[in-house]
Amino acid sequence: MPTIGWFEILIVVAIAIIVLGPKDFPVMLKKVGSWIGTAKKYVNNIQNEVSNIDIEDNHTEKKEDKKDES
């Protein structure tokens, strides 16, 4: 998997400043940052829900095992 280095990031930033202009660039950075933050929240919520489902499944399996032993 290719990695992105500092030089590539610098090129992308320079192109973005040229295309967007120096006045609109900070506004766009703020928007992109909020989109990334929102995406991270959604992914974190999904991971928590999946782990909670796994914990609940393990808990119910243990209860069933205890009932079978009795």
Query: What per-residue confidence (pLDDT) applies to 5?
Result: 92
CA distances to 24, 29, 49, 51, 55 from 63, rounded to whole Å, are 59, 51, 21, 18, 12
Q: Structural domain boundaries of the chain?
A: 28-70
Task: Say if pTM beats, i.e. exceeds, 0.85.
Answer: no
The dihedral over CA atoms of 40, 24, 6, 4, expressed in degrees to the nearest 10, equals: 50
Comparison of pLDDT for 33 and 66, the residue scoring more: 33
Query: What per-residue confidence (pLDDT) applies to 61?
Result: 66
- At 65, the pLDDT band (50, 70, 90 cuts) reads low
